[in-house]
Amino acid sequence: MRFPGKIALVTGASRGIGRATALAFAREGANVALGGLVGEDGEAVAAACREHGHEALWVPADLGDEGSIEVAVGQVAAAWGGIDVLVNNAGVYLKGTVTTTTLEQWEQLMRVNVTGAFLCARHVLPLMLARGGGSVVNVASEAGLVGLANQTAYNVSKAALVSLTQSMALDFAAGHVRVNCVCPGTTLTPLVQEAVAREADPEAALRRLGSVRPLDRLGRPEEIAEAILFLASDAASYATGAVLAVDGGYTAQ
């Protein structure tokens, strides 16, 4: 096991990439805290994590509210004494250009995608430093590496996560905290399935999303989870500030 006795906090863990990542940490020996909004079915994922023989804790939190995050991180620290791994995975998606995106939409997306990661790191990092080190993995997107049409706010938020990763990596290397970033390509998550279902021809939309990639398919949540666990593990002990594209070759074109 890669994380025996370690404590991992995964945000946005009730479904998709976050769910797959939480389950993967549990299989690899970690106690897993799952963060997400009130009302999400995180308890079911926590129960699935416990089936691997380790502890799991669902901690509802509004990732744009510092007080809520402080309470959630405090719950994890009170239960297990600290945090070794933070995965900033929670995020929302929005279509729109500069002229069609409202200010309210822009601010909401930034609040969750960027401010949420900043606030989680702000409250988790002191716990890691007190334990002598740790690992942070931010989940950005291929959209943070290249421009994608009609999703300006989302693109900018994910590019900000790449910059946040590199900035944190420099600031906390001396404290033995590694900070890295995974940039998934379009992955077959509930979020993507919901977006595709709104298209006039969902099946054609799915084929189109896969066909623009050299590997000619969409990613699976479990594949992104494996990349996250690699960067969080001792196998990547010399990696900090790294930005790993896991996108079927899309950004290599």
Report the catalytic residues: 154
Q: Are 182 and 227 in contact (CB under 8 A)?
A: yes
Does residue 21 sit in helix, strand or coil?
helix
Q: Which of 225, 182, 161 is nearest to 17 (CA)?
A: 225
Give the integer Cα–Cα distance in Å for 52 and 43: 15
Residue where the block lists tokens 């994590």: 49
Q: What are phi and psi of 22, to 5 degrees?
A: -60, -45
Residue where the block lists tokens 């006039």: 200
Give the integer Cα–Cα distance in Å for 87 and 83: 11
Dihedral of CA atoms 79, 80, 83, 84 in degrees, nearest 10, equals -160
Does residue 152 sit in helix, strand or coil?
helix
CB-CB neighbours of 184 under 10 Å: 26
Q: Secondary structure of the chain: what % helix, strand, coil (to 5)? A: 50, 15, 35
Alpha helices by DSSP H, the chain: 16-27, 42-50, 66-80, 103-110, 116-130, 152-172, 190-197, 202-211, 221-232
